[in-house]
Homo-oligomer: A and B are copies of this chain.
Amino acid sequence: MDPLPSWNDGAAKSGILDFVARVCAQGGPDFVAPAERIAAFDNDGTLWCEYPLQVQVFFALAEVKRLAQQDPSLLEKPAFKAMIDGDVKTLMSLPKKDVFEPAFATHAGMTVEEFHANAWRWLRQAEHPKLRRPFLRNTYAPQRELLDHLRANGFKTYIVTGGGIEFVRVVAQQLYGIPPEQVVGSSTRMKLEDGADGMVLRKLPELGSFDDRDEKVVNIALHIGRRPVFAFGNSDGDLPMIRYTLGGTGPRMAWLLHHDDATREFAYDRDFRLSALRDGLDRAAELGIGVVSMQRDWNRVFADGDETPNGGNA
C-alpha cells in the first residue's frame, strides 16, 4: 500500500520513500539507529496554511481588542494598532517578530491551563477568512501522511515552530499525532504561583524565546539534544534548522515546501515578509535541499474535507 497517496509520483516522493527505506535498512550503509531518527517540521506554512497571516496572528486579532481596552498604551505599537484597525496590509509589511508580539501578549496573565482553554475555544470554531473553512481543516494531507510514514519507520517527529509552543500544543496531538513534549516553539516567560488551588504556572508578558532562524537550532539542542536527520520547512526562517540537519554525518534529508498553488491554496515566496522564501529558493541546490512544489508534487492539499478553490488571489 502506498504510504503517501496524496503525493504525486516524482523526485520528491521517491526521494522521501527511498531515504526512509535506506535509513531503516539494518546492516545497510545508511542505517540510522532508531534513537537517532529525529525529524523536525516547521508548522506554519509547512504543516498547515499560514497565508495571509499565521493562524496565531488571527487568534491575536480576535484577542487583542480585549487587551487594548485594559491597556490603551498598546495602541502605540504598530502591530497592535494594525490589528485593532483590521489592517492586514500593514501587518503583512511589519517584521515577523513585531507581528507575533501581540500573539505572545495574548498569553500574559493567564495560567498555562487558562491559555490552552482560551486558545481552544477560538481554534475549534474560527474560520480562515479567505478559504472559508475552519483553520483546523487547513492542515496538509501529504504532510500528515509523511509524519505517519516517518513514525511507522521509527522516527520521532517534532514540531519546531516560530509560533507559540503552548498554542501549537493545543492542537498538535489531534492534528499531527505529535505529543506536547515533541513541540518546540516560541515561549513567554512563566512564573510559578503557589495559590489556593495549588501550584500553577502563570504566563508573563515577556518573551522567553522567539523560535525563528538560529533560535530554532538553539532550541533543538536544548529540547532534543540531538541533530535531526530529517527536516522540513517552508521559509528562510527554517534555513538554519535545515542546514544544521544537513550538516551532520551520515544520511540526511531536508525539504522546503514551495507555495506555488494559487488555485488550491496560495502562491507566495520571496515577497511574503512574514515568512519569506528567498535564500532558500536561491540556494536550495547548492545546499542540498529539496524543493517540494505544492502544485506539482501534491495531488491533494488539505487533509480534511474538500478542496475549495480560493479564487487564485493570493
User: Does A35 lie at the interface of the complex (its beta carbon under 8 Å from any beta carbon of B)?
Assistant: yes
**Complex contact A243–B199 (CB within 8 A):** yes
Most buried by B among A179, A224, A225: A225
Asked whether A19 is an interface residue with its Cβ less than 8 Å from the other chain, the reply is no
Measured between beta carbons, the chain B residues less than 8 angstroms from A180 are: 224-226
Q: How many residues of A contact B (CB 8 A)?
A: 33
Which residue on B lies nearest to A169, using beta carbons? Answer: B225
Docked pose: A42 CA to B221 CA in angstroms? 21
B218 touches A181 (CB 8 A): no
With A180-B226, A181-B224, A183-B225 as given contacts, are A240 and B169 in contact (CB-CB < 8 Å)? no
- For chain A, residues 179 to 226, give those with C-beta under 8 angstroms from any C-beta of chain B: 179-181, 183, 187, 189-192, 194, 198-199, 201, 208, 214, 217-218, 221-226
Q: Given that A179-B35, A192-B244, A244-B192 are contacting pairs, would A201 and B221 also be in contact in the complex, using a CB cutoff of 8 Å?
A: yes
A225 touches B181 (CB 8 A): yes
Residue A165 lies at the interface, judged by CB distance under 8 Å to chain B: yes
For this chain, the copies found in one complex come to: 2
- A199 and B216 CA atoms in complex are apart in Å by 13
* Inter-chain contacts of A223 with B (CB < 8 A): 181, 223
A16 at the interface (CB under 8 A from B): no
A217, B192: Cβ atoms closer than 8 Å: yes
CA distance A218 to B192 in the complex (A): 7
Q: Select one of B35, B112, B224, B226 contacting A221, CB under 8 A.
A: B112
Give Cα A199 to B277, complex, Å.
20
Q: Mark A216-249, 1 if CB is under 8 A from B, else 0.
A: 0110011111100000000000001001100100
Closest residue on chain B to residue A245 by CB atoms: B199
Smallest beta-carbon distance A90→chain B, Å? 31
What residues on B are CB-neighbors of A198 within 8 Å?
A: 243, 247
Q: Choose from B156, B191, B218 the contact partner of A190 (Cβ within 8 Å).
A: B218
Point out the residue from B112, B183, B218, B222 that lies within 8 Å of A165, measured CB to CB. B222
User: Would you call A217 and B243 a contact (CB within 8 A)?
Assistant: no
Task: List B contacts of A191 (CB < 8 A).
Answer: 214, 218
* Chain A interfacial positions (CB closer than 8 Å to B): 35, 112, 156, 165-166, 169, 179-181, 183, 187, 189-192, 194, 198-199, 201, 208, 214, 217-218, 221-226, 240, 243-244, 247
Inter-chain pairs besides A181-B181, A191-B214, A198-B243, 4 sampled, C-beta below 8 Å:
A35-B179, A190-B218, A198-B247, A199-B217
Give 18 CB contacts A-B under 8 Å. Answer: A156-B181, A169-B225, A179-B225, A180-B224, A181-B181, A181-B224, A181-B226, A187-B222, A189-B218, A190-B221, A190-B222, A191-B218, A198-B243, A198-B247, A199-B217, A201-B218, A201-B221, A223-B223
